[in-house]
Amino acid sequence: MSDRSEQTQALDPDQRAALDAALALAQWAADLTWDTVPDEVRDRLRLVLLDTLGVTMLGARLPERAGLIDAWTPGDGPAPLIGTGIRTSPEVAAWLNATALVSLEMDEGNKFAGGHPAAHGFPAVLALAATLDADGPATAAALLVAYEVGARYGRASTAVPGLHPHGNWGFTGAAAGCAKLIGLDADQITAAIDAASGMPIAGPFSAALDGNPVRNEWMGACNVAGLAAARLAKSGMANPTGIAAHSLGGLLGAFSPTVLVEELGQRWDIGLGYFKRHASCAFTHPTADAALVLRPQLPDAGVDAITGIRVSTYSAAANLHRTRWNNRLAAMFSIPYVVATALRDGRVAPDGYDASNSAEFRALADRVDVVADAVFDDRLPDARGAAVEITLADGRVLREEVANPIGDAAREPFDYERTVALLRDLLGDGDAVARVLEAASSLPETPSARAVLDTLTES
């Protein structure tokens, strides 16, 4: 019996199951080539990449980012910090691009994974691709591996109550994508995934509700850990033990290895994700959509005619009920903030926060009551819904219910034109949008990922 076989036999059954499933997933990843990917999946990868690059550039423009970048004192290197004029090491680029990407709550997500597979792995893969000057097909295949592996680990993980999904199951996607890009084989990709699944962050969801920006840093840590795990596997020092059974399972919740390989090679999770038109937590989006439907039905007095607002939604979303916030992050995780912004402005955009501390705005938010309704819980994860009831001073009640938010794969999914329109609205800069469009379109076929990504360095 080989040393590897003896070691595997010494593992407990849960570890062996986790390791076997990881190996099957890694074999799929090792065998994947861009030219064998179905056309519709290739198109979806480009669309997710377009959203990711555009939203990263948007986040990079936040005024507080300058101080953060200065605090890192990034040295010279080949990897671009999108929208900053800086080129630096892959580690610094992966971390800071990841935190910019998630800072405005507009990054693509996946309700079946329960989080954001692209944000967990794309910054690391792109930074590594620029560093290695990889070609487009290799980079695109690695991005797809990062998404699919991360999404499957998200599906397989059931978190303990109160755990935020940033920076735990997604480590595996970052590691798999980076390992794929540096040309590791199936055993080595398994080792990278296993190492990454031993690095998860037990981040409390309360950080988002409280407006603690460490919540964004978990995504930076995830991407850098993916790089580290791939390098550990390449060195031969990684020792895969099915550790996800005791980290993602046990410590952080429950883990189901069989989910990792369900419909492997047939189902593409990247096609089941959602895009966000509101600068707020995805849990708030069905509520925002319902409020926007009701807004034109308000009387001439507008929001002043409202005496009460009742939001019914699924339990996880109902926890976002605070009517006070101390910064933009906390506001984006408040349904009262989102409802008040939607009714006041007709949209929930990043600049909506600027007026949210006025007495009039706070008074409107105070009239929002958020409750959990088991009807919506029973429909998860296929439907993430909410109902909004607005009571007016004249006694009338306006009501709207939505089963899924706009942008979800199940309701008005974003296409190329809609994504471009959203980025034009958000960035307000034709040149920046054109560069993002060209990068997302050309990257999968380019002979030089570095040359393409370098066009995004400037804001």
Confidence of residue 1 (pLDDT cuts 50, 70, 90): very low
| Per-residue b or e along 214-240, where b marks 16 or more CB atoms closer than 10 Å to that residue's CB | ebbbbbbbbbbbbbbbbbbbbeeebeb
Query: Which CA distances in Å does 411 have to 65, 87, 364, 403?
Result: 34, 39, 29, 8
pLDDT of amino acid 385: 98
pLDDT of amino acid 2: 47
Residue 227 reports pLDDT greater than 50: yes
pLDDT of amino acid 352: 92
Give the mean model confidence (pLDDT) for residues 99-107.
98
pLDDT of amino acid 377: 97
Nearest-angstrom CA–CA distance, 144 and 347: 32
Confidence of residue 7 (pLDDT cuts 50, 70, 90): low
Q: What is the 3-state secondary structure (H, E, C) of the chain?
A: CCHHHHHHHHCCHHHHHHHHHHHHHHHHHHHCCHHHCCHHHHHHHHHHHHHHHHHHHHHHCCCCHHHHHHHHCCCCCCEEECCCCEEECHHHHHHHHHHHHHCCCCCCEECCCCECHHHHHHHHHHHHHHHHCCCHHHHHHHHHHHHHHHHHHHHHEEECCCECCCCCCCHHHHHHHHHHHCCCCHHHHHHHHHHHHCCCCCCECHHHHHCCCHHHHHHHHHHHHHHHHHHHHHHCCCCCCCHHHCHHHHHCEEECHHHHHCCCCCCCHHHHCECCCCCCCHHHHHHHHHHHHHHHHCCCCHHHHEEEEEEEECHHHHCCCCCCCCCHHHHHCCHHHHHHHHHHHCCCCHHHHHHCCCHHHHHHHHCEEEEECHHHHHCCCCCCCEEEEEEECCCCEEEEEECCCCEECCECECCHHHHHHHHHHHHCCHHHHHHHHHHHHHHHHCCCHHHHHHCCCCC
Across the strands, what pairs with 400? 388
Joined together, the tokens standing for residue 405 give 């938010």
pLDDT tens profile 400-436: 999 999 999 999 999 999 999 999 999 998 999 999 9
For the CA atoms of the chain, what is the radius of gyration? Answer: 22
pLDDT of amino acid 4: 56
Domain ranges of the chain: 3-275+424-454, 282-402
Q: Within 13 Å and on the Cβ side, how many CA atoms surround 50?
A: 25
Strand pairing category for 86-88 and 79-81 = antiparallel
Level-2 CATH architecture, domain 282-402: 2-Layer Sandwich (3.30)
pLDDT of amino acid 5: 61
The CATH number given to 3-275+424-454 is: 1.10.4100.10
Confidence of residue 13 (pLDDT cuts 50, 70, 90): very high
Mean pLDDT of the chain: 96
Strand pairing category for 397-402 and 386-392 = antiparallel
Residue 22 reports pLDDT greater than 60: yes
Across the strands, what pairs with 402? 386
Residue 6 reports pLDDT greater than 80: no
Which of 41, 48, 37, 62 lies closest to 117, judged by CA?
48
pLDDT tens profile 23-33: 999 999 999 99
Confidence of residue 355 (pLDDT cuts 50, 70, 90): confident
pLDDT tens profile 115-149: 999 999 999 999 999 999 999 999 999 999 999 99
pTM of the model: 0.96
Please provide the size of the chain in residues: 459
